[in-house]
Amino acid sequence: LARKLDLQQSLRRALVTIEDKELALHIHNNQRLGLISAMLAIFIFGAFYGRYLPQNSLAEKASSEYAEIAVPTSELGAGHVVLLHAYMALTAAATILQLLVVVRTTMLCVLAPGLGLRGPEGSMTRAVLVLRRQSMINLHLFYAGYVCFCADAAVYLYILFEGDAVLPAPSLALIAASLVWAAVDATRVERRLRLPLAGGFEAVPPLPD
């Protein structure tokens, strides 16, 4: 009986050690993702937000920098107004999504270790399970912000060339190609790094290069 209890205690310690390493891995990944999202949010806000402002509203209260790039409302057609609204909405969406990743990763990095270290028995397992799911959600939010950023750049090109469908075509093709490549590459990497099935890696069919 004493030997059985000793084996059980050893198994529990081994499981806690493994979970502690996985907890540290998720915390490290979330810290890096939060840093990248913060830098991207700053870039999006500085590069796109406030680039075009109607003169009869915000530009009158804006600085000279914004006044130089303000757009007279009387000169805007209906299609151009729609593009401006789409431009501002996509800029806000891309920035908010990246900042949401920053907020979520900060909460996970602060709360999860506290639960794992100071909680009752089983808290380490719960912290790891929560981190697994929430880390994937953060990654998807980051991808969504990247898509909004690319769409924002495409709308900006249409505004820059005053609605012309031919002049921005090369840049639009480059943006579309980058989105397709990112989606294909992310899918390929996810498949290669997917956890094995019950039978081990042999249960996963080999992937072509």
What's the CA gap between 92 and 80, in Å, rounded? 18
DSSP readout, 7-57?
Answer: HHHHHHHHHHHHHHHHHHHHHHHHHHHHHHHHHHHHHHHHHHTTSS-BTTT
Whether the predicted model's global pTM rises above the 0.85 cut: no
Which residue has better confidence, 140 or 205?
A: 140
Average pLDDT over residues 84-110: 91
Beta bridge partners of 54: 71
pLDDT band at residue 121 using 50, 70 and 90 as cut-offs: confident
DSSP readout, 75-135?
Answer: G--HHHHHHHHHHHHHHHHHHHHHHHHHHHHHHHHHHHHHHHHHS-TTHHHHHHHHHHHHH
Query: What pLDDT score does 199 carry?
Result: 47
Which residue has better confidence, 24 or 197?
A: 24
Which residue has better confidence, 168 or 54?
A: 168
Which residue has better confidence, 209 or 36?
A: 36
The alpha carbon of 190 is separated from its chain's Cα centroid by a whole number of angstroms, namely 16
Residue pointed to by tokens 């804006």: 62
- Sequence-distant (6+) residues with CB within 8 A of 175 are 150, 153, 154
Count the Cβ atoms, other than its own, within 10 Å of residue 135. 19
The alpha carbon of 140 is separated from its chain's Cα centroid by a whole number of angstroms, namely 6
Residue 107: is its pLDDT beyond 70? yes
Beta carbons of 112 and 23 less than 8 angstroms apart: yes
